[in-house]
């Protein structure tokens, strides 16, 4: 099974990193574009309560410094969230978290990200000829393990 899938399963609900530590979570060797990773990181920050509704988020220049990337790449990640109405722009002031951002992110991740991951897991379980019970027991064991951390 793809290590990235396993990582997401184990760390889907874990706390995001803040500030200078954020640069360590970028995967520059992967196939996922950096601007998408930036957008997902900001989403996770919102989900974890590090950014509330109507609160200003990092600027493209702050993100560029944190991640040591081009400001245009950071801006592309921010604009992706603006296009999804998760962030909104205030001219001359920056970008802010939309009122229903957390709910929008939850719905998006349930209906897209998590559904895709579950599909991949089920396909792999079928290839391994695992029973439904074995797969469910494995998921429950990971939930218990993550709950103890």
* 51: Cα within 13 Å, side-chain hemisphere: 27
Question: Which phi and psi (to 5°) does residue 32 adopt?
Answer: -80, 125
Indicate if the pLDDT at residue 70 is higher than 90.
yes
- pTM for this prediction: 0.72
User: Residue 140's Cα: distance from chain center in Å?
Assistant: 22
Domain coverage including residue 138: 3-147
Q: Which residues lie across from 94 on neighbouring strands?
A: 90
> Over the stretch 129-140, which tens digit does the pLDDT of each residue have?
999 999 999 999
Report the pLDDT value the prediction gives residue 29, as an integer from 0 to 100: 79
CATH number at residue 10: 1.10.10.10
- Answer whether 17's CB lies under 8 Å from 53's CB: no
Number of folded domains that form the chain: 1
- Answer whether 74's CB lies under 8 Å from 63's CB: yes
DSSP string, 7-72: HHHHHTTSPPP-GGGGGGG--TTSSS-HHHHHHHHHHHHHHTTSS-TT-B---HHHHHHHHT--HH
């Amino acid at each position: 099974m793809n290590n990235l899938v396993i990582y997401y399963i184990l760390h889907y609900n874990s706390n995001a990193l803040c500030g200078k530590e954020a640069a360590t979570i970028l995967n520059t060797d992967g196939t996922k574009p950096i601007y998408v990773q930036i957008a997902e990181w900001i989403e996770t920050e919102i989900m974890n309560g590090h950014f509330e509704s109507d609160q200003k988020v990092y600027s493209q220049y702050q993100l560029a410094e944190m991640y040591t990337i081009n400001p245009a790449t950071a801006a592309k990640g921010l604009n992706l969230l603006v296009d999804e109405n998760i962030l909104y722009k205030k001219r001359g002031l920056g970008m802010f978290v939309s009122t229903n951002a957390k709910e929008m992110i939850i719905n998006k991740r349930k209906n897209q990200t998590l559904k895709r991951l579950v599909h991949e897991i089920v396909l792999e379980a079928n290839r391994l000829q695992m029973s439904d019970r074995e797969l469910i027991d494995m998921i429950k064991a990971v939930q218990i393990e993550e709950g103890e951390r």
